Structure 1
Amino acid sequence: MTGPFRYTSPEPPQSATGEVADVYTQLAADFGIRNASTFVVLSASPPLLTATWALMRESLLAGRASRTGKELVAAGVSLANRCPFCATAHAVLLHATGDHRLAETVLRGDEPEDPGERGLLAWGKDMSGPPPFPAHEADEYVGTALAFHFINRVVSSLLSEQMLPGGVEKYRLVRSTAGRSLAATVRRDLTPGTSLPLLGTAGEPPAWAAEGPVGTAYGALRTAAHQGAGLLSTRDAAFVRESVAGWDGVTPLPLSAPLPERADRPGARLALLAARAPYRITDEDVAAWRVPPSTDHCLVHLVAFGAILAVERVEALLRTPAGELS
């Protein structure tokens, strides 16, 4: 396929079978975009694809918490992670909810006028502070935020910054029109848990979502993404883990920060960048690691390993609505 894919060549969605085809069907029905490149890029690994889709669906799309509120959190995460593709996508989805002025305010980098909306956007940018939502909605808001900490890193690593062909998403009229086309889908009430039968992995649910479909999906994603550690030597996997563990969960990787040499430790370099600065991944970084027999499947798993380490680091800094560490 041509288009937004920088380093992989996914199979055309119309030729998909099995759980991959089932995800595309659910995408069309529940998300309104059958061939969303955010998910197509993961199709080389059905367990990663199904778990990523399940976490996003069960946290952002389904449930009872405000869709506008969750889109604000997702936008805050995407802005903090310097992911223009995802930030624009959330602006489009805010247009779909009918919050047209808010969509453009957020995309410009301005603060919403409403204190509640301002608090949700700010929490998405830095999740170490007190959560601005009630405890009974924590699984949806936290799940949404962590889903996009993962998705942002996949997108920044493997896709171009253009959300639409020709970059036409830069025009407000295009964003608004795209959002209006999704309005009916965005405003539907979805049955929680529908994505879970597609999962190819399982894992322990987190404390912030010990019960329910969000926790199940998150556990599955952690299991699938950690499989990428097997693509690195024990030494390199430990190095990446230690580097991410020492990160504060917010501050971008300094340009002066030492990185593993591309020629000697390309896998460690790529995984670390995927975790802490995916927008800095270059063609040379990928080419240095991706030599035969590495495949699309290997590349998405290596990126996913770095991404899930970053997600877990952010998760470790979370506070519950009561103000205690989760």
Structure 2
Amino acid sequence: MGEMLTKATLPGVLAQVRHVTPVRPAAAQGLVAQVYAQVEREFGMLAPPVILHSPAPQTLAASWAMLRESLLAEGTHSRETKEAVAAEVSRANSCPYCVDVHQATLDALLRTRPAPAGGPARSPELVAVSATFHYLNRMVNVFLGPSPLPPRLPVAARGLMLRLFGLIMRPAAAKPRAPGAAAALLAPAPLPADLAWARDVPHLAGAFAGAAAAIDAAGRRSVPQGVRELVTSCLDGWDGTPPGPSRAWLAEPVSGLPPAQRPAARLALLTAMASYQVDQEVVAEFRRQEPSDLTLVEFTAWASLAAARLAVRRSLSDSHPTPHERT
């Protein structure tokens, strides 16, 4: 079913990805081919938020491992509950594409199954979903448009098309997936201290430790040290409030860097702190210095995961109950 749906949707899926050229399934080899096979089989199709990573194979495997082991893998929480968290986080991050996908999937599941009972938002499974979507929302805002639906679709038809999209996604979403399959795509790595929330759930610990190691290595390759230090410093002092509404806030933090590094710093800070403000101009300015697809994917993945890890640390340190915990 996944292979058939991929063939039917492939032209539209590839066309959704901007700034980079994703690897076509027929050309996929090695790790990319392994990830594509799992995505087709378990997600039901080659989803654009995954394949946009394909120019960087290790980063592709890392993103899929986090998504698969947090959202798809069977555990103590229902898929409906996880989809609700995914949609909620995506709204908070101003990622309309992910809101459309995961709200439509949730609505379709709820047509045939009872509403989720909820659960503590600090449980490892739901923290993992939150961390994954804090990461993916940023990558999606950079590399995809505002919706999986065709851009010229009349507004009046959106509701019907989203219901149809949810019905297409429902069979794969309703099927339980055994944990651990995607974590095996990554090299084993120690679990960083800030991801200790995952340590008692082996498939989450393996996936997030491996993904963090892969994306940290990508950052060392593709993000200049001065830019990494600037982003880390800015995130340490950030309370999560969206900056803006313009991009004027970037001028002060990047002013201390050499002029040649400022385009990279602007892209990294926007990706981490206001990914919805990244546009063609910002990316083109970066690519005049760093033209490869691999570098662009690794660069933005590092900034996205740095921000996602901060968001989770901040939520876990908050002493006040979250909406999920009050219900």
TM-score by length of 1: 0.82
Which of the numbers 183, 199, 209 marks the counterpart of 1:210?
A: 199
Report the counterpart of residue 219 of structure 1 in structure 2.
Answer: 209
Judged with a 3 Å threshold, the aligned counterparts in structure 2 of structure 1 residues 322 and 239 are, in CA distance, closer, same or farther, namely closer
Report the counterpart of residue 310 of structure 2 in structure 1.
Answer: 313
Judged with a 3 Å threshold, the aligned counterparts in structure 2 of structure 1 residues 201 and 36 are, in CA distance, closer, same or farther, namely farther
Report the counterpart of residue 29 of structure 1 in structure 2.
Answer: 41
Residue 315 of structure 2 aligns to a residue whose secondary structure is coil
Residue 105 of structure 2 aligns to a residue whose secondary structure is helix
Residue 120 of structure 2 aligns to a residue whose secondary structure is coil
Judged with a 3 Å threshold, the aligned counterparts in structure 2 of structure 1 residues 189 and 160 are, in CA distance, closer, same or farther, namely same
Distance in 2 between residues matched to 1:83 and 1:289, nearest whole Å: 22
Report the counterpart of residue 140 of structure 1 in structure 2.
Answer: 125
**CA deviation digits over 1:36-73, x for unaligned, max 9?**
11111100111111111111111111123021111111
Which of the numbers 162, 167, 170 marks the counterpart of 1:183?
A: 170
Judged with a 3 Å threshold, the aligned counterparts in structure 2 of structure 1 residues 257 and 322 are, in CA distance, closer, same or farther, namely closer
Report the counterpart of residue 152 of structure 1 in structure 2.
Answer: 137
Distance in 2 between residues matched to 1:99 and 1:286, nearest whole Å: 41
Judged with a 3 Å threshold, the aligned counterparts in structure 2 of structure 1 residues 322 and 243 are, in CA distance, closer, same or farther, namely closer
TM-score by length of 2: 0.81
Residue 286 of structure 1 aligns to a residue whose secondary structure is helix
Residue 204 of structure 1 aligns to a residue whose secondary structure is coil
TM-superposed deviation, 1:133: 1.3
Judged with a 3 Å threshold, the aligned counterparts in structure 2 of structure 1 residues 169 and 316 are, in CA distance, closer, same or farther, namely farther
Report the counterpart of residue 199 of structure 1 in structure 2.
Answer: 186
Gaps of 5+ in 1: 103-113, 121-131
TM-superposed deviation, 1:169: 9.6
Judged with a 3 Å threshold, the aligned counterparts in structure 2 of structure 1 residues 210 and 65 are, in CA distance, closer, same or farther, namely same
Contact 1:74 1:148 survives alignment (8 Å): yes
Contact 2:19 2:143 survives alignment (8 Å): yes
Distance in 1 between residues matched to 2:234 and 2:188, nearest whole Å: 27
Contact 2:100 2:147 survives alignment (8 Å): no
TM-superposed deviation, 1:323: 7.3
TM-superposed deviation, 1:239: 1.0
Distance in 2 between residues matched to 1:11 and 1:280, nearest whole Å: 26
- AA at the equivalent of 1:215: A
Gaps of 5+ in 2: 1-10, 322-327
Judged with a 3 Å threshold, the aligned counterparts in structure 2 of structure 1 residues 304 and 169 are, in CA distance, closer, same or farther, namely farther
Question: Does 1:279 pair with 2:276?
Answer: yes
Which of the numbers 243, 247, 258 marks the counterpart of 2:250?
A: 258
Judged with a 3 Å threshold, the aligned counterparts in structure 2 of structure 1 residues 162 and 242 are, in CA distance, closer, same or farther, namely same
- AA at the equivalent of 1:5: V
RMSD of the TM alignment (CA)?
2.9
Identity %: 32
Higher helix proportion: 2
Contact 1:169 1:175 survives alignment (8 Å): no
Question: Does 1:237 pair with 2:249?
Answer: no
Contact 1:149 1:311 survives alignment (8 Å): yes
Residue 37 of structure 2 aligns to a residue whose secondary structure is helix
- AA at the equivalent of 1:45: A
Residue 140 of structure 1 aligns to a residue whose secondary structure is helix
Judged with a 3 Å threshold, the aligned counterparts in structure 2 of structure 1 residues 69 and 320 are, in CA distance, closer, same or farther, namely farther
Deviates more, 1:183-192 or 1:83-92: 183-192
Contact 1:13 1:40 survives alignment (8 Å): no
